[in-house]
Structure 1
Amino acid sequence: MTQSAPENRALCRDCGMRLGATLARCASCGSPRLVRHPELDRLAIAHIDCDAFYAAIEKRDNPELQDVPLIIGGGQRGVVSTCCYIARIYGVRSAMPMFKALEACPDAVVIKPNMEKYAKVGKEIRERMLALTPLVEPISIDEAFLDLTGTQRLHHATPAETLAGFIRAIERDIGITASVGLAPNKFLAKLASDLEKPRGFSVIGAAEAKAVLAAMPVGRIWGVGKVFQQKLERDGISTIGQLQTVDAADLARRYGSIGLRLAQLAQGEDARLVTPERGAKSVSSETTFRTDISSFQTLRPILRDLSEKVSARLKKSGLSGRGITLKLKTSDFKTITRARHLSDPTQLADKIYSAGVDLLENETNGRKFRLIGIGVSDLETADRADPRDLLDQSAERRKNAELAVDRLRDKFGKSAIELGLTHVTRTAEKPKKT
């Protein structure tokens, strides 16, 4: 465990021993799981991603599930939250409709998500990450970027050695596994962590970045979704290597600011820092129905109920936002999103619902929907929310009425006051929550 270890010496992931570069197995513990790379002791940006996190926790807690395909998700009309690696062999994937997942793997065991339990484990892992470095940038409950620059003196080990010890510890103490990507920047670290899952430890160095990226499809670039990937392919760009040959100015002319970003990432360059605080980018709520709904009049009270939930979370968190997004999923699983930007930030259910219902009315043309959701984005603090509108006195009255209802509900409980629309929702058959 030394800072002065010669470059390209191997690191045993199972015991931490430093070894000669030519050995195939660890001389100390006999493990073949060795990491070797010319830049191993000079890299400090890592991406850690727990392996099949929800499923791993359930298998840890019930040993009888160890050797069976396991799916974490909703009922027959729900979707797969995650699945174990055995189920993935059968073609099951996250976000797959549950009925398709069970068609692919009919012998799978299905368990509903226990988010409280998963959050507790995620918090424990996050606290252990923070013991390594204060520069931890969470991406989700089970993954994060870490910057271990300058931690050698603290841990008496290189970042690579510290990371190997970390994943050994969470496997031993918490009972789940994780994969690590180590690189000179966040983009390459994220790519590296996906290369050898599960229980992976992969390194992409600066010198080899362009060559490693060249054969990858453009969809591997962070932020290039399915639609944009198809656009690039129509333009004759299907691999990152092809992007590398296109002038940055040309990409900017074709695709705007994202074109410049593509040019940089294709070369393996990423100037983003690991930032410890990642505030919420949006607050949303959605629900999946037991049976598909096409009627605008039926959807309206459900949308109002969701708007109240979003509003309550904004108020509790001291947040507001200008962006209102309506989400719909059709009976054939196509997702539709429609957005509106408000002139002032809001945290009021009345304004969230008003914008959402206008967007909804344009989409209810006979199509059947299996899911509806509403969200608020472009978040900021609540001190600028909902300024007084001198031109619309009725809006001010609605605001005051809503705040009065909030005070009553805080004192006597949420069911103390029911508005007309939400009362319809709550007295009808409740839709299944996602």
Structure 2
Amino acid sequence: MPALCRDCLARDPPGATCLACGGRRIIRHDSLFTLPIAHVDCDAFYASIEKRDRPELLAHPVIVGGGRRGVVSAACYLARTRGVRSAMPMFKALAACPDAVVIRPDMAKYVAVAREMREMMEALTPLVQPLSIDEAVLDLSGTEALHRAPPAVVLAHFAREVERRLRITVSIGLAPNRLLAKLAAERDKPRGFAVLGPEARDWLAGQPVTLLPGVGPALARKLTAAGFTRLGQLAGLDAREAARRFGEDGPALAARARGEDSRRVDPAREAKSISAETTFETDLRALAELEAPLWQLCEKLGRRLSEKGLAAAGVVLKLKTDKFETRTRTVRLGRPTKLPEMLFRAAQPMLAKEATGAAFRLIGIGSQPLAPGDQADLPDLADPDVARRAGRWAAVEKLRARFGADAVISGRALGGRKRDAE
């Protein structure tokens, strides 16, 4: 059976220990040197970077997130063994792991590391599709002649280089398609390298339906009520029966249960939405109190749209009550924009309708659908002031880039600067 030592990249070591280096991280699989699709997932990305930069924390549980009223953005594996999970309310995380070191997120630092890692991926293949800041899928088909090595060897070398250059670790899944590559990457974390090939369907058959990405609690309950608790049960449905039982998404669900996935790795795939949100240190009720953090988020959203060369063709307002009830309101815009003032004008009336006495712990704003950035804030006879507003916003951003984020502060933002915990 083909094998690879992940420590020295020696091929086909005969036993459990590599004769060349003494390493024991040996991968064996019949299809090891022929599979082309890889899923790369950083291990506890934010927390790993913080531990890298603060070695004194290596032996301590670390949580990256907001204040006590915020949520967990990331947790190291030590904290996870105590029950801490991403998106968990911070008070629950600290109850589960009271000795954890809590660090506020430093997104600029994380983005810089992510960019460097993406450059390393793009040196392997042009077919790199980022899925999030710390996760991507790669297609290495046809690259063996370039690298003079099959994808498995190239990826093992990449993982070693990430550890050497960035001083964090990744887990890799190798498979014939994107779905199986993702599932493989999750089998051997952290610092893992797992392979799924032709045997995947038999392995999937005994797994719970919740293993499939996209099968959340609601769908899992629906499947269970219909008598489907294992993927093998779903895999046996033909397209007609799957559609009869589970609607138009049924055939695709049954196909995924068999490990089938026809999605290509598409580097040009555009984001579907861009958003920003914040959790308050204390609940807010009054409209005037809520408007200040909303304005700050509109500024942040406008900046993110500009950075990505996109514009908002619609605005989504998100609110979470003190009872953890989520309210989402949307509006389509007459013209695409990336100006905070226009985003605020669209979101403020929706906020006013919701701010009728309920206590809110979180507010967010998003742009969906998106439009090309060159369609944003074009001159309009009905709005002759748009060019002046765009110029004013550009000038503010230039000053902040040169002198810092606090160089220019809008009066709308002053009311919320001490309240929100990013």
Q: TM-score when scaled to structure 2?
A: 0.89
Contact 1:218 1:239 in 2 (8 A): yes
Q: Secondary structure at the match of 2:276?
A: strand
Question: What residue in structure 2 maps to residue 3 of structure 1?
Answer: none
Deviations 1:258-287 (A, max 9, x none): 333212211211111111234433232222
Deviations 1:344-384 (A, max 9, x none): 53434455334423433443343211111111022121344
For this pair of structures, how many residues does the alignment match?
A: 418
Relative distance call for 1:27 and 1:428 in structure 2 (3 A) is: closer
2-side partners of 1:125 and 1:416: how far apart? Answer: 32
More off after superposition, 404-413 vs 424-433:
404-413
Question: What residue in structure 2 maps to residue 4 of structure 1?
Answer: none
Q: How does 1:330-349 map to 2 (within 5 A)?
A: 330-342=321-333, 344-349=335-340
Question: What residue in structure 2 maps to residue 284 of structure 1?
Answer: 275
Answering whether residue 170 of structure 2 is matched by residue 178 of structure 1, we say: yes
Q: Secondary structure at the match of 2:368?
A: strand
Indicate which of 85, 105, 115 corresponds to 1:113: 105
Percent sequence identity is: 50
1-side partners of 2:118 and 2:59: how far apart? Answer: 28
Answering whether residue 92 of structure 2 is matched by residue 104 of structure 1, we say: no
Deviations 1:360-416 (A, max 9, x none): 3443343211111111022121344467888xx5xx256466346436646877999
2-side partners of 1:197 and 1:74: how far apart? Answer: 25
Answering whether residue 360 of structure 2 is matched by residue 369 of structure 1, we say: yes
Q: How does 1:210-359 map to 2 (within 5 A)?
A: 210-315=201-306, 317-342=308-333, 344-349=335-340, 351-359=342-350
Q: Which amino acid aligns with 2:393?
A: D
Relative distance call for 1:398 and 1:147 in structure 2 (3 A) is: same
2-side partners of 1:294 and 1:231: how far apart? Answer: 36
Contact 1:409 1:415 in 2 (8 A): no
Relative distance call for 1:261 and 1:15 in structure 2 (3 A) is: same
Answering whether residue 145 of structure 2 is matched by residue 153 of structure 1, we say: yes
Question: What residue in structure 1 maps to residue 72 of structure 2?
Answer: 80
Q: CA deviation at 1:222?
A: 2.3
Question: What residue in structure 1 maps to residue 369 of structure 2?
Answer: 378
Indicate which of 167, 191, 195 corresponds to 2:187: 195
Answering whether residue 34 of structure 2 is matched by residue 42 of structure 1, we say: yes
Question: What residue in structure 1 maps to residue 393 of structure 2?
Answer: 406
Q: CA deviation at 1:172?
A: 2.9
Question: What residue in structure 2 maps to residue 431 of structure 1?
Answer: 419
More off after superposition, 61-70 vs 38-47:
61-70
Question: What residue in structure 2 maps to residue 13 of structure 1?
Answer: 6
2-side partners of 1:116 and 1:297: how far apart? Answer: 30
Q: Secondary structure at the match of 1:41?
A: coil
Contact 1:19 1:27 in 2 (8 A): no
Answering whether residue 57 of structure 2 is matched by residue 57 of structure 1, we say: no
2-side partners of 1:95 and 1:259: how far apart? Answer: 29
Give 5+ residue unaligned stretches, structure 2: none
More off after superposition, 52-61 vs 233-242:
233-242
Q: Secondary structure at the match of 1:306?
A: helix
Contact 2:295 2:412 in 1 (8 A): no
Contact 1:286 1:433 in 2 (8 A): no
2-side partners of 1:349 and 1:184: how far apart? Answer: 44
Give 5+ residue unaligned stretches, structure 1: 1-7
Q: Secondary structure at the match of 2:350?
A: helix
2-side partners of 1:253 and 1:323: how far apart? Answer: 35
Answering whether residue 58 of structure 2 is matched by residue 71 of structure 1, we say: no
More off after superposition, 243-252 vs 30-39:
243-252
Q: TM-score when scaled to structure 1?
A: 0.86
Q: CA deviation at 1:321?
A: 2.8
Relative distance call for 1:109 and 1:302 in structure 2 (3 A) is: closer
2-side partners of 1:405 and 1:346: how far apart? Answer: 14
Contact 1:79 1:97 in 2 (8 A): yes
Q: Secondary structure at the match of 2:275?
A: strand
Q: CA RMSD in A?
A: 2.8
Q: Secondary structure at the match of 1:18?
A: coil
More off after superposition, 303-312 vs 119-128:
303-312
